[in-house]
Amino acid sequence: MKSFSELKEYQNEISEKKKNNQKIDDKPEIIIGMGTCGIAAGAKKIRNAVVDVVKEKNLDVKITETGCIGMCEKEPLMDIKMPGMERVTYGEIEESDVKRIINKHVFEKKIVKEFAIARILE
Amino acid sequence: MKEYTAIKELPYYEELDFYKKQKRIVLQNCGLIDPEKIDDYIEKKGYQAAAKAITQMKSKEIIEEVKKSGLRGRGGGGFPTGLKWQFAKDAEGEKKYIVCNADEGDPGAFMDRSLLEGDPHKLLEGMMIAAYAIDADEGYIYVRAEYPLAIRRLKKAISQAEELGLLGENIFGTEFNFKIHIKEGAGAFVCGEETALMASIEGKRGTPTSRPPYPAQSGLWGKPTNINNVETYANIPFIIDNGAEEFNKFGTENSSGTKVFALTGKIKNTGLVEVPMGLSLRDIIYDIGGGITDDKGFKAVQTGGPSGGCIPAEQLDLKIDYDSLKEIGAMMGSGGMVVMDEDTCMVDVARFFLTFTQSESCGKCTPCRLGTKRMLEILERITEGEGKKGDIEKLEQLGKVIKEASLCGLGQTAPNPVLTTIKYFRDEYEAHINDKKCPAGQCDALKGSYVIDEDHCIGCGQCKTVCPADAITGKKQKAHTIDPEACISCGACAEVCPVNAISN
């Protein structure tokens, strides 16, 4: 970074790239809370379960990680962001719940009430 | 109940009770961005404050802005951050250092860890601005080795920032150079004290030294050094980006901004919260925290970890800031908040915290080394039913002396949990000593023998099976009895009794 404007340009590039990506290949994103609290509550197992479901269904999704959002009580947390839809947080899930949540949310765009906590204003 | 719903039926985060009263400045990105991607941080206006500070502001202006913001040290001491920077800036010397204290060690505290794991670039940006403001070109983050994930993410963040030229030489095309190292601490609690921390970075034994000289004059390797806590640095980008005035909109007159608390113990919504200063304990524990587990009664909350105090129910409406907490004998500390319910024995809590500080005392000064040992012996005696008349007064006297005469913050605050529990729960101490009773029923040695209510006993025999002392006799279908001589008061029988006929 050689100047303030270079940072600004870089910032714009990132948002542009994101926008373009969204236009070209609108991929659903599955985000797993992988802070120490999440991992202690089983986030790694959830992540593996997500990977399995994605493989099995041959889904084209991004799997990413994030830190702790504060609700340690509700860990492990998994968010799903569908193109054109707000990001939704699911909590207190177990490996066995992952498949049903992805099936309903990604394929039918339906929210599984039992585990849904909130949506994120973006 | 419908199993599935449409997205518009879901509440937004801001509408949840847990988040309604929160204001997230420091934790703004935590849980939302990918902490291992610098682009995620930059997209959220990351490093913009650093760019503004370094290319458009003089160091004097930055320090003025931080002073105006009223930001105080979030590690617990509450010293004005701008003033601290001023001292380091004014100190003479070619070489200066920036140090970040990430040696989070209070039982039940995980504020720094979450921030380091969730948004490491925010800390780096805060440190960059501080370095530029005091003319430092090198920084250290002292983080405990027990935080491997935090360390991994910090290392990744540093190398990403170096790749983009945000750390290194001629940052933003200016003369400003800055590099950051990580020093992994071995986990001694005393190394959270600034002079001990710097000794530890230098490879020496982590023990405190007397001040003055303060780190601003003679810190790391004898050079002028500015040392702040993780959360303090993480507030800086917001202040520079939005201005002190915007920051001042949150909080109270003498404690501006927000504070991150780790809610733990007997509370429904355990977790990490960031609230404006001046919110009441009731707001935090009941509205945000959802109240006490199993709807039991609230007894006390311990703020500030082993250095803090136990705050009783009468103080639930206390507006929390640095000064209000100090007034009642507790302290802000780094932000641990351990909630206790009616089943908690306050003498036992005091003993627990003192056991911690006693074993973590580095042993350099006598009041802390021996004083905490003597206090602990008395507390252990009391919880074992051997308390004597005059013990409470002796604890108070010892506590006062240790606070006044100890070399560093560890000793100066170690008696707080004991002194505040005596202040607010003196009757519990008296019950232990005079009546040999533990009102909360927690101290094993003071539990009376258990008795079976013969009118309610159904003679199922489950208690007889679990009793480890073979103290229970009785025929099937007939009321059983406990031999008080043989009973060891373990309570196993009361736990299994299906009709709750056993009590002590």
Query: Same domain, yes or no, for B45 and B152?
Result: yes
Which residues in chain B have Cβ-Cβ distances shorter than 8 Å to A69? 30-32, 118
- Whether A9 maps to a domain, the answer reads no
State the nearest Cα–Cα gap between A51 and chain B, in angstroms. Answer: 18
DSSP one-letter string for A25-86: ----EEEEE-SHHHHHTTHHHHHHHHHHHHHHHT---EEEEE---S-GGG-S-EEEE-TTS-
Asked if B104 contacts B305 with a C-beta cutoff of 8 angstroms, the reply is: no
- Whether B427 maps to a domain, the answer reads yes
Q: Is A9 on the interface with B (CB under 8 A)?
A: no
Query: Same domain, yes or no, for B54 and B167?
Result: yes
- Whether A54 maps to a domain, the answer reads yes
Neighbours of B317 (CB within 10 A): 10
Query: Same domain, yes or no, for B293 and B336?
Result: yes
Q: Are strands B481-482 and B472-473 parallel, antiparallel or unpaired?
A: antiparallel
Query: Same domain, yes or no, for B223 and B81?
Result: yes
Instruction: Please list, residue by residue across B324-352, b when 16 or more beta carbons sit within 10 angstroms of its beta carbon and e when fewer do.
Output: bbeebbbbbbbbbbbbbbeebbbbbbbbb
pLDDT at A51 over 70: yes
DSSP B116: H
Which residues in chain A have Cβ-Cβ distances shorter than 8 Å to B11? 118-119
Cβ contact, residue pair A4, B9, below 8 Å = no
Q: Is B500 on the interface with A (CB under 8 A)?
A: no
DSSP B318: P
How many structural domains is chain A composed of? 1
Kindly report the CATH number assigned to the domain that includes residue A69.
3.40.30.10
Which residues in chain B have Cβ-Cβ distances shorter than 8 Å to A41? none
Domain that holds residue B215: 34-247
Q: Which two tokens stand for residue B98?
A: 């920036």
* B interface test, pick of A69, A86, A105 with most B CB neighbours within 10 Å: A69
Cβ contact, residue pair B269, A73, below 8 Å = yes
Which residues in chain A have Cβ-Cβ distances shorter than 8 Å to B19? 70
pLDDT at A22 over 70: no
Query: Same domain, yes or no, for B406 and B326?
Result: no
pLDDT at A25 over 70: no
Neighbours of B223 (CB within 10 A): 18
ipTM of the complex, rounded to two decimals? 0.93
Asked if A12 contacts B89 with a C-beta cutoff of 8 angstroms, the reply is: no
Question: CA–CA separation, B7 vs A109, rounded Å?
Answer: 8
Give A66-106 pLDDT, tens digit per residue.
999 999 999 999 999 999 899 999 999 999 999 999 999 99
Neighbours of A84 (CB within 10 A): 8
Which residues in chain B have Cβ-Cβ distances shorter than 8 Å to A110? 4-6
Nearest CA in chain B to A116: B10
Confidence of residue A23 (pLDDT cuts 50, 70, 90): low
Nearest CA in chain A to B267: A73
Asked if B100 contacts B127 with a C-beta cutoff of 8 angstroms, the reply is: yes
User: C-alpha angle with apex B96: B93 to B100, nearest 5 degrees?
Assistant: 155
Query: Same domain, yes or no, for B219 and B266?
Result: no
- Out of B6, B19, B33, closest to residue A66 by CB: B33
Task: Report the first-to-last Cα separation within chain B, whole angstroms.
Answer: 44
Q: Which two tokens stand for residue B174?
A: 């200016």
- Whether B58 maps to a domain, the answer reads yes
Query: Same domain, yes or no, for B221 and B354?
Result: no
Question: CA–CA separation, B91 vs B119, rounded Å?
Answer: 32
CB pairs under 8 A between A and B: 152
- Whether B8 maps to a domain, the answer reads no
Q: Is A11 on the interface with B (CB under 8 A)?
A: yes
Cβ contact, residue pair B43, A110, below 8 Å = no
Which residues in chain A have Cβ-Cβ distances shorter than 8 Å to B7? 85-86, 88, 109, 111, 119
- Whether B11 maps to a domain, the answer reads no
Query: Same domain, yes or no, for B159 and B186?
Result: yes
Cβ contact, residue pair A119, B10, below 8 Å = yes
- What pLDDT shows up at residue A115? 96
Query: Same domain, yes or no, for B233 and B327?
Result: no
Main-chain dihedrals φ then ψ at residue B407, nearest 5 degrees: -75, -40
- The answer for A 68-87 residues in CB contact with B (under 8 A) is 68-73, 77, 85-86
Domain boundary among B410, B434, B458: B434
Domain that holds residue A51: 23-120
Cβ contact, residue pair A11, B6, below 8 Å = no
Q: Which two tokens stand for residue B104?
A: 């989070």
- Whether B85 maps to a domain, the answer reads yes
Residue A41: closest CA among B57, B230, B400, B270: B270
Residue B194: closest CA among B185, B207, B184, B181: B207
CA-derived radius of gyration, chain A: 16
Residue B263: closest CA among B22, B75, B15, B424: B22
Residue B429: closest CA among B395, B401, B398: B395
Query: Same domain, yes or no, for B120 and B75?
Result: yes
Q: Is A65 on the interface with B (CB under 8 A)?
A: yes
Q: Is A98 on the interface with B (CB under 8 A)?
A: no
Asked if B383 contacts B443 with a C-beta cutoff of 8 angstroms, the reply is: yes
Query: Same domain, yes or no, for B382 and B282?
Result: no
- Whether A15 maps to a domain, the answer reads no
Kindly report the CATH number assigned to the domain that includes residue B370.
1.20.1440.230
- What pLDDT shows up at residue B425? 97
Each of the 504 residues of chain B gets a pLDDT tens digit; together they read 578 989 999 999 999 999 999 999 999 999 999 999 999 999 999 999 999 999 999 999 999 999 999 999 998 889 999 999 999 999 999 999 999 999 998 888 999 999 999 999 999 999 999 999 999 999 999 999 999 999 999 999 999 999 999 999 999 999 999 999 999 999 899 999 999 999 999 999 999 999 999 999 999 999 999 999 999 999 999 999 999 999 999 999 999 999 999 999 999 999 999 999 999 999 999 999 999 999 999 999 999 888 889 999 999 999 999 999 989 888 888 899 999 999 999 999 999 999 999 999 999 999 999 999 999 999 999 999 999 999 999 999 999 999 999 999 999 999 999 999 999 999 999 999 999 999 998 898 888 788 899 999 999 999 999 999 999 999 999 999 999 888 888 889 998 999 999 987
Domain boundary among B247, B274, B302: B247
Which residues in chain B have Cβ-Cβ distances shorter than 8 Å to A113? 1-5
- What pLDDT shows up at residue B156? 98
Query: Same domain, yes or no, for B421 and B478?
Result: no
How many structural domains is chain B composed of? 4
Domain boundary among B401, B434, B467: B434
Kindly report the CATH number assigned to the domain that includes residue B292.
3.10.20.600
Tokens 């350099």 belong to B364
- Whether A77 maps to a domain, the answer reads yes
